[in-house]
Amino acid sequence: MTQQLSIPIPGNTLHECKVNIKSNKTSIFKSCLSCSRNMTLMMLLLLTIIILIIVPWIYCEMQQDENKMDESDGKNHEESFPLIDDESENVCTTFICKQSARQILNNMDESVEPCDDFYNFACGNFLNTTTIPDDSGSVDIFTAINHELEKQLKNSLEELILPDEPKSFKNAKIFYKSCMNTTMIEQRGLEPFNKILKNLGGWPVIEDENWNENDFTWTESVYKCHEIGFSDSYFLNFGITPDAKNTSKLVIELDQVSFELEEFFITNENDDIDLLKKINNSHNAFRKLYNDYMFDIAVLLGAPKNNKTMNQLKETYKFKRALINISLSKEERHDANKLYNPMTVADLSIKHPSIPWKKYFNTIFAPNVTIDDDEIVIVAVPSYISKFEKLINKTSKRTQANYVMWRVIQDSIDFLTENILDRQSKFIKDLSGISKREPRWKMCIEKTSMFPSVQAMYIKKYFNKNAKRNIGEMVGDIRNQLNKTLHENDWMDDDTKKNAVDKADAMLSCIAYPDELLNDEKLKETHEESLEFYDDKFMENILAINLIMKKETYANFRNPFNRSDWMNHIKVAVVNAFYNRIENSIELPAGILQGFIYNDHRPKYMNYGAIGTIIGHEFTHGFDDQGRQFDKDGHLKNWWTPITDEKYRRKAECMIDQYSNYTVGEIDMKIKGLNTLDENIADNGGFKLAYLAYKDWSERNGEELTLPGLKFNPRQLFWITAANIWCRKIRNEIAEDDIENDIHSPGKFRVIGSFSNSESFANDFYCKDDSKMNPKNKCTLW
């Protein structure tokens, strides 16, 4: 139930460009003072007189010529945006302001008319000059932030282990070291992993005739995977979650399995014949790539290199595809009420008798929790369970076993040998165009960052504590604008409006990090303290941490859920932001509060334009099409009157139609307006709330200084900054997958779509009526 701000994480290149700052010229004049002083003074006086007479005349002549040219093409930028003198008292000349100006100019293409295409105006040069690294699928503004964060974590984890530091800190460093110990991983080879596969029942493609199907059931394979530390969700997605209608209580939830990467290529339903042909060609290409990939990995692990192995793996692929085909699409999962289907264990046993439900749940929860027939289980997709039962009963046990072992292998790739990793890299290259594997230390950072102690290391050493207080003030300002927007809303009736305001007031804001994270005694209470890690056994280390995290989670099943529990908000060294519908909370981790997104020392219009719009985005998620289905306490509850609900739906339909008409030209694919609806609503609301909050701040504190070398006033710079955070260059292969599977619109249309719906933007940039960025018909919700 966590809504995330989608931020891709590849590597970045920040291009430097010089800003014409007149102080540079002053330094040149100073270097001439070694000449004869009197002669210099006379020449300077003469030169000054010439400049005072001639330069204004030249400037006027140039302006007249320029205005004639501008009048002829109708694009007089100077009329709209008065040129700001870099030495004017209205210009900020601090280091951070000059740096900010360089960043904006480096991204901007001023040859583009902002009222025609604001995204290319703000990001055009970024797109034209940025090169995507070989190990990345895309590059954006967040990339540099994430790269810096990763380096900081790397530095902390590579420090020497001190005798007196907390055990949790030592464990994190040992775990990271074991991940980086490729010498030992290669020395041990694949034998330890093959032993694990045997303990799980063996992989039929390797065991061949020695594999006995009488020893296999899919439920037993789930129990074995769970007990070793692998996922228990390869056939049915199993988890525990706060009850959506009573959030103080945890419940079991069953859902369809998720496959992520393969989903677009394996199944797609569309009425467009040309698109279907393209998808079919993509599917055929993907199927061959995937089958070849499985076959090569199987051979490396010891399977015979023959047709029998390939045929078994083709059956595995077909079974995987069948699981996806019985699942609901993202669009079909949009209504949270349809995903809330409570049943008792007894009900499940009657409806689906071939599955031993009571044993299934008790084996997973053992030894701390007992599940009886009266236990409530939330079944997200009842049709999936029904179709799964039929599918599993007609699928051979050999195919079932091949499938589950392949899923285990997929989850294990990162801790296997170099030849396995190389084959995975080739598959990724063929699929996405990413031709180089990222440095191993980045993967090891990602694995190790699951530890609370790593988050604590980051906060203690690198995070600017003032930012937490300052961001808190911004959150307060933006929350005030949300409340004001709701109060002034003219299409909601009073009852619904009151419920909306109550929800906004109740929203919890988790900023930067929980204070408990800096308390070493609190860290001792986490699972890290109870583990022993070894710097030469990465695979065993990762399975051990996986297992204890699952067992701790399941052991707490009977405890009440507390949305304010600090352990729910410990992932702070991450470049992202979140809204949680069940908690009715926004979360702004410390990792995102830096770089171009936030800086204590730069003008407020930049901070409100960057992190402010992200804060507004997360607040608005509480009132998007899914968020609005939950009340102030996070309960799944309809608090909308029928009349207001119908008005909301009409307004949402406008936005669905708007975004569905956008085409990503490079790949000739249209955005899925329904699939991206919630994020589009949050984008539109986020930009508006942040803008109103900055406008209010400016009225209280006075207009700020502008940036050097830029001819824009503070409000215009708010919009430019807001657009800059979505500058992104992306490989076509990744863009295609994003269109199909991502719930966010591409960066270009996050900007174009939201800004063209804003009267404030149109006013600030003097966009003519019915210009591309100021259409007559606008879609607005909040």
Is the residue at 47 inside a domain? no
Q: What is the mean pLDDT of residues 61-87?
A: 39
pLDDT of residue 564: 82
101 and 200: one domain? no
Catalytic residue check, 618: yes
From the number of C-beta atoms within 10 Å of its C-beta (0-12, 13-18, 19+), residue 241 rates as middle
Rounded distance between C-alpha atoms, residue 693 and residue 695, angstroms: 5
| Three-point CA angle 19, 25, 29, nearest 5° | 165
From the number of C-beta atoms within 10 Å of its C-beta (0-12, 13-18, 19+), residue 62 rates as exposed
**Which tens digits make up the pLDDT trace of 379-403?**
999 999 999 999 999 999 999 999 9
Tell me the CATH number at 198: 1.10.1380.10
Tokens standing for 97? 């302001």
Q: Which residue has the higher pLDDT, 428 or 66?
A: 428
649 and 715: one domain? yes
Q: Which residues pair with 630 in a beta bridge?
A: 636
Q: Are the C-beta atoms of residues 781 and 620 closer than 8 Å to each other?
A: no
Q: Which residue has the higher pLDDT, 464 or 43?
A: 464
pLDDT over 60 (residue 440): yes
Catalytic residue (choose from 140, 207, 253, 683):
683
Q: Are the C-beta atoms of residues 773 and 756 closer than 8 Å to each other?
A: yes
Residue ending a domain, choose from 389, 416, 443: 416
Residue ending a domain, choose from 416, 437, 461: 416
266 and 131: one domain? no
From the number of C-beta atoms within 10 Å of its C-beta (0-12, 13-18, 19+), residue 130 rates as buried
pLDDT over 80 (residue 528): no
310 and 352: one domain? yes
Rg (Cα) of the chain, in Å, rounded?
29
Report for 4-18, 30-44, 140-154: range of highest mean pLDDT: 140-154
pLDDT, the chain, mean: 87
pLDDT over 70 (residue 39): no
CB atoms within 10 A of CB 371: 20
Q: Which of 110, 93, 245 is nearest to 637 (CA)?
A: 245
Is the residue at 374 inside a domain? yes
pLDDT of residue 277: 55
Residue ending a domain, choose from 416, 436, 459: 416
Is the residue at 93 inside a domain? yes
Q: Are the C-beta atoms of residues 620 and 42 closer than 8 Å to each other?
A: no
pTM over 0.75: yes
Find the domain containing 403 and state its range.
Answer: 190-416
Max CA-CA distance within the chain?
A: 105
138 and 194: one domain? no
pLDDT of residue 22: 26
Indicate the number of domains in the chain. 2
Rounded distance between C-alpha atoms, residue 586 and residue 634, angstroms: 12
Q: What is the DSSP string of 449-505?
A: TTSHHHHHHHHHHH--HHHHHHHHHHHHHHHHHHHHHHHH-SSS-HHHHHHHHHHHH
Sorting pLDDT into bands at 50, 70 and 90, what band is 77? very low
From the number of C-beta atoms within 10 Å of its C-beta (0-12, 13-18, 19+), residue 271 rates as exposed
149 and 214: one domain? no
pLDDT of residue 37: 32
Q: What stretches of 129-224 adopt beta strand conformation (E)?
A: 138-140
Catalytic residue check, 117: no
Question: Which of left, alpha, beta for 220 (phi over 0: left; psi -120 to 50: alpha)?
Answer: alpha
320 and 387: one domain? yes
347 and 209: one domain? yes
pLDDT over 90 (residue 11): no
751 and 609: one domain? yes
**Which tens digits make up the pLDDT trace of 450-498?**
999 999 999 999 999 899 999 999 999 999 999 999 999 999 999 999 9
Is the residue at 158 inside a domain? yes
pLDDT of residue 284: 83
Is the residue at 69 inside a domain? no
10 and 143: one domain? yes
200 and 149: one domain? no
237 and 302: one domain? yes
Is the residue at 512 inside a domain? yes
Catalytic residue (choose from 253, 618, 704, 742):
618
Tell me the CATH number at 467: 3.40.390.10
Q: What is the mean pLDDT of residues 121-129?
A: 97
pLDDT of residue 432: 85
Is the residue at 176 inside a domain? no
Tokens standing for 59? 């400037």
Is the residue at 481 inside a domain? yes
